[in-house]
Chain A
């Protein structure tokens, strides 16, 4: 397959192909709808015969995330993917990885909850992804793709960010982005790093004491409170740096907008259609699409709140990101939420109607 070939595939398949192409060393996962195509595609592609990438179906999501911990601790580029209930099971491992400062990629193709919920798309894991999820003071770097192309592009980006900051990163998609097919240009092949490169680039990794260097210990444990506070403060300083440098967002038709929709992932796609419809009716609406959900584009929302008459948080959930928008807007403009629940995706007409009714 030529590097630049345009092809048609599902978002989940794009994740798998991008992983193989961006030098991923290992994937560990467990089937769950609507993301099973990630593991299925990897199993069909047999990358262990080409790039040498390890692919393993684990016995559970708990095992998957801990395999990711074990692999990441050796400096390898490793990942897992799941959907909401499975990602709930992974929270223990995610917290441990944040504590041990391990770079890795977790993909959540969200479905509606709570509990077993539905297999239909949802964005109701925003709180879980951005506000902790597991125990302790930590953050994941959270990327929200809005197209199949971004599913492919964000795999390498997530790994780059994860390794730059030694922090787990998440691609947070939903069943719609995972299941739909769009055209995609897959990233060019990048070789997996050699063992020598890993040892050089990740001097912290548990690769064995090559050259009789001092042992490396990967742990999140420190029983002395004074020491543990120092570790926490260092991690928090890292988060401040990420907030400073890594905010990503897209603006759409905001220049003359009187109202703004803030939406991520598939909701942002719906928002764009709603904006077309609203503008045809004379309502000047624009979109701010956070691409990083954490770090959240608070500064951009604050700026927006000073120039628009109202902000609508369009989310496929009961209102989660809206809290971050309200904090950022600081009362400058009214902030409302619109969403559908239970796996129902709002259609563009109802969003326009919501806009009209709310402001």
Chain B
């Protein structure tokens, strides 16, 4: 099994850290992982994306032409990565701020209104975990337990009390993700 994922959005949305948690969870399950950010001047509001590959075999290229799954969190990312999803692959998008929804018919499109949900829950900072929950519902690339273990590993001790909130966010994401067109 190899899952090649691109996560793209605005800087500050937690794109890179979501990818990191995913990669860490994969590592904890003994899988091969690569986390390859598109880096630039550190800037909130700029574009950010990260390629995460989770695989049972050694990962060849960290740079990919196409992806099994694209998670896009803003309009420019949707436009950039929708064409790069492999045929039969998956595209997950947050409806917030999307004016032109995806149009491809040869891929599976899911919508997750994580931004709205995070605002409702008054947990804007767990936005990325809601999205991650959505992904794990569609593709259980890693187990939720591994994600929680990864959070314990990567979060500084002083933030460990937030782990239950993150778990709540992941479960919320699993609830609210819907196949596009069915909402």
Contacts of B62 in A (CB 8 A): 176, 180, 182, 266, 269
Given A34-B39, A119-B39, A176-B36, also A181-B23 (CB < 8 A):
yes
Contacts of B61 in A (CB 8 A): 269-274, 348
Contact call B33/A175, Cβ cutoff below 8 A = no
CB closest chain-B residue, reference A273: B61
Size of interface on A: residues with Cβ below 8 Å to B: 28
Q: Which residues from 6 to 51 on chain A have a C-beta closer than 8 Å to any C-beta of chain B? A: 6-8, 33-34
User: Which one of A6, A182, A276 contacts B34 once the chains associate, using CB atoms below 8 Å?
Assistant: A182
Give the CA-CA distance A272 to B62 in the complex, in Å: 10
Contact call A182/B35, Cβ cutoff below 8 A = yes
Does A167 make an interface contact (CB < 8 A)?
no
Contacts of A119 in B (CB 8 A): 39-41
Does B20 make an interface contact (CB < 8 A)?
yes
Contacts of A8 in B (CB 8 A): 20, 23-24, 27, 33, 35
Size of interface on B: residues with Cβ below 8 Å to A: 21
CB closest chain-B residue, reference A6: B27
Contacts of B41 in A (CB 8 A): 33, 119
Residues of B within 8 A of A (CB): 20, 23-24, 27, 32-37, 39-41, 59-66
13 example contacts (A-B, Cβ-Cβ < 8 A) are as follows A6-B27, A119-B40, A176-B36, A180-B34, A180-B36, A181-B35, A183-B27, A183-B33, A266-B63, A269-B60, A270-B60, A272-B61, A274-B61
What 18 additional pairs, Cβ within 8 angstroms, besides A181-B36, A276-B60, A350-B65? A6-B27, A8-B23, A8-B24, A8-B33, A34-B39, A119-B39, A120-B39, A176-B63, A179-B39, A180-B62, A181-B35, A182-B35, A266-B62, A270-B61, A273-B61, A273-B64, A347-B63, A348-B63
Residues of A within 8 A of B (CB): 6-8, 33-34, 119-120, 175-176, 179-183, 266, 269-274, 276, 345-350
